[in-house]
Amino acid sequence: MEQRVLIADDDRAVRESLARALELAGYEVVAAVDGVDALTRARRDDFSALVVDVMMPYVDGVAVCRVLRADGDRTPVLMLTARAGTPDRIAGLDAGADDYLPKPFEVPELLARLRALIRRTPFVPDDRATATGGVLRIGALRVDPAGRRVRWGDEELHLSKTEFDLLELLVRHEGIVLDHATLYRRVWGPEAGVDAKNLAGYVGYLRRKLTEAGAPELIHTVRGVGYAVRWAS
């Protein structure tokens, strides 16, 4: 079976050159442009390994690794960074990375390290989606991306398309503060201008509907930055 690798790097030139090298080496490659994109793709699909740059906007590579490990995802992670200092390597490894390669690097060395990671950790499909039927869960909240349905316990929430897309994005990145620009880009599209008041309005609609269904406060405001979904068990 062809091995799939996710490359996450905000530098387009690095991302594209790595993708070409990996494809020539026989890998199927999926590219992510930042940490939020990397988390979304890693949570949605199965990969043989992840190649993640540390310095990325919105969510950095260390946070990506930490969140995936907290999710129970054990996909091998090779971190790339221009920071070669010992404290930076320790931070990445402590977050759950399996290997660390400083920039600039030679592509043959990256390929060798990738082969070693995949060899040490045979690919086993992540069973999180199987166990939950693809449904995202926080407490009694159930978000079904395929059916585009949301429930709190036995109560179904009736959401508009934008409300659903916004809630799904926040829930997929539970515990991570997503800034206004990221939320607009991912929900309204890359060409949409950022309107903090409009975004606050949709967050208000979601909060009201969640409260009416009996949910506690789930969507938290980080003033001057954005919003995060957090569950206090």
Q: What is the pLDDT of residues 92-108, one digit of tens each?
A: 778 888 898 888 889 99
DSSP 156: E
Contact 208/214 with Cβ under 8 angstroms?
Answer: no
3-state secondary structure of 20: helix
Do 218 and 152 reside in the same domain of the chain? yes
Residue finishing a domain among 126, 160, 179: 126
pLDDT at 130: 31
pLDDT at 164: 94
pLDDT at 86: 67
CA distances from 87 to 63, 84, 90, 92, 93 (A): 15, 9, 5, 9, 10
Q: Round to whole Å and give the CA distance between 215 and 193.
A: 31
Beta-carbon neighbour count of residue 10 at 10 Å? 18
Do 150 and 217 reside in the same domain of the chain? yes
Contact 186/226 with Cβ under 8 angstroms?
Answer: no
Do 106 and 17 reside in the same domain of the chain? yes
Q: Round to whole Å and give the CA distance between 187 and 182.
A: 8
Q: Convert the pLDDT of each residue in 38-52 to its tens digit.
A: 988 888 888 899 999
Q: Convert the pLDDT of each residue in 108-129 to its tens digit.
A: 999 999 998 888 764 443 333 3
Residue identified by tokens 């926040």 is: 170
Domain that holds residue 205: 133-229
pLDDT at 207: 95
Say yes or no to pLDDT of 232 above 70: no
Structural domains counted in the chain? 2
Instruction: Using alpha carbons only, give the angle 187, 191, 194 rounded to the nearest 5 degrees.
Output: 65
Domain with 170 in it: what CATH number? Answer: 1.10.10.10
pLDDT at 33: 92
Residue finishing a domain among 126, 152, 182: 126
Q: Round to whole Å and give the CA distance between 103 and 80.
A: 7
Contact 64/52 with Cβ under 8 angstroms?
Answer: yes
Do 146 and 110 reside in the same domain of the chain? no
| Cα end-to-end distance, the chain, whole Å | 40
219-222 vs 28-32, strand pairing mode: unpaired
Do 117 and 214 reside in the same domain of the chain? no
pLDDT band of 233, cuts 50, 70, 90: low
